[in-house]
Structure 1
């Protein structure tokens, strides 16, 4: 059952730079990657509503540590990948299509690279993507478990979504990512414009997220590894000519790790 109403998505900040995404639908409230239960409990108390369910993207504790307390408080379902060993009531796999009240059709995408079981949730009827740590604004997640081959596949998968897709990453890394992107493409005018906007938002302690795919395709070097400017910058850093795509991505990721 699809909802005629677009969900209202709100960032709940926690820890140093995490966002727990709160999804208010016409049929209940959900959260994505609740690393801190107290933040969610306080928000639901303010709303005077229970939580309808939880979506988990991957196993890292800053995304999962709040599950047990939330289940104890609300006794609701928790969806997630098999790499999450505890707290999941409904294990799901890549290419599953969930029908969740108020959200309609939710497609489970394979974004395994940051971790080997990482998934993302794509609300197809609303063009909303909850991507965990697979993609950030102007950046992507470190390869803790996956390979550059995995990363290339993930970037290709995400690039193929509709350009209007609204993207909800789970970390406020945008300003630091922009500094790296500017080192790659110093003459990218859209990136320069975005950098000014993000600086203004962050100066007021406002989130830079969500982002959207059309913007990321224009400014995110990890989605632009076939662009000649990005390939040239990565090749200069590597000291050898690189092929577009995976070779360039591997160098970009290694460079960003020490930037």
Structure 2
């Protein structure tokens, strides 16, 4: 079944929308279909897209974009879907502008910037992810969608934390993360004149950075995954069991 995962939902004005359901956990259960979705920005949806989104039965949309990002490009949502803002501020903009002024900047320079951002996501902004888990524990919030701008980095860590908490293997977590490379249309505008090596690095997935973000989050919360789940994400044993029973079948 994993050959058919993740299940992508095509849109005209957005991409990287997919059902997170179907992935198998270590205990043999699978994440329920139709409960949890991830995507890139929903700011440019067409009317047909809004109808498609509405057909998913969304009740909650968690926006992980920064405050200015979200204000500059408001989401288009179907009636009945409540937007919850859990801002994770982007941290590469000013530094990227500096790189673009340097003739010898490379894709590896961009990866170094992204590495710092990923480490921030897993430590400084862990509260936003904790807020996401609080919402996931409310069944009346389902179906729930979470997104950032590209649906790749901040959203990628959100999906990784959710799958890990539910009991997925690291291989499964990375398989879901890398799927962005084939599903996302790279339709997020970059500053005019961005050199191709820098653009390629920004648009690509970086599994080693996701690994580093997960490791940093674990280290910051006691050095073990169960401690990250409890101290960082608020998943006590009873809340974790409840989450798994809500989302797995």
| TM bracket, shorter-chain basis | 0.3 to 0.5
Greater relative contact order (CA < 8 Å, ≥ 6 in sequence): 2
Higher fraction of strand: 1
Q: TM-score, normalised by structure 1?
A: 0.31
Q: TM-score, normalised by structure 2?
A: 0.32
Higher fraction of helix: 2
